[in-house]
Amino acid sequence: MSQHVLSHALRVPALEKLKNKRIVLASNSPRRKEILRTFGLAPDIVPSTFEEDLDISEFPEPHEYPVATATHKAVEVYEKLVREDPDNPPDLVIGADTVVLTHPQPVTSDTSYSLIPGINQELLENRYLNGQVLYPVLTSPGYTIKSIDERSLVYFADNQRYVLEAYAESGEGIDRAGGFAIQGQAGMLIRKIEGDYNNVVGFPAASFFKLLDLLVDEDPDFLDV
């Protein structure tokens, strides 16, 4: 079994519990992988094949959509791994999904600059990123699901059109949720954020590790399967 808890991880109960456990990230996002590694987790990467085609109109609240999508991702990966190797099920599967409100994600540089707020347009997005945690219970291959959702607000500066055009032409925003990368060149466009910076990058690290702490506090036998 590969070492999923790295040497620089803080020696806190939740991370100690994860030692010698099989941890899986149901996502191929390099941002999520990098954020987890920063805090000492190096999960196996098993991208979900879930189509992400849920009808968003069926969800009364915006955060319910990524919660449901992340659940499907985590369950799909867990069940797949159990089928492939019933004697070695994952101990923890992490799924995640992001919803960006206010404007659609740009596809080409010809359109993206007009979708990023400029002068007198402060609030870009409400970002709900759900960290879905799935782990086996004593009746494995059964599982228990716990979830979190995190909202971050991103405020753009009074950016001139030529700045937005230059950013769009850089191509950095292509295939990024919201059409920008706060950790990259887009950082110069942003005046402030409210909420978890890592959530805007791709994963709500603070809420995720607090959830693990809570699970350990509530159940001392957490992951002792």
> Both tokens of residue 84?
């492939």
Active-site residue, selected from the candidate residues 55, 85, 87, 97? 97
Question: Is 175 noted as a catalytic residue in this protein?
Answer: no
Residue 210 CA to residue 206 CA, distance in Å, equals 6
> Both tokens of residue 89?
């099920």
SS3 labels along the chain: CCCCECCCCCCCHHHHHCCCCCEEECCCCHHHHHHHHHCCECCEECCCCCCCCCCHHHCCCCCHHHHHHHHHHHHHHHHHHHHHCCCCCCCEEEEEEEEECCCCCCCCHHHHHHHCCCCCCCEEEEEEEEEEEEEECCCCCCEEEEEEEEEEEEEECCCCHHHHHHHHHHCCCCCCHHHCCCCCHHHHHEEEEECCHHHHHCCCHHHHHHHHHHHHHHCCCCCCC
> Both tokens of residue 127?
């970002």
Give catalytic residue positions. Answer: 97
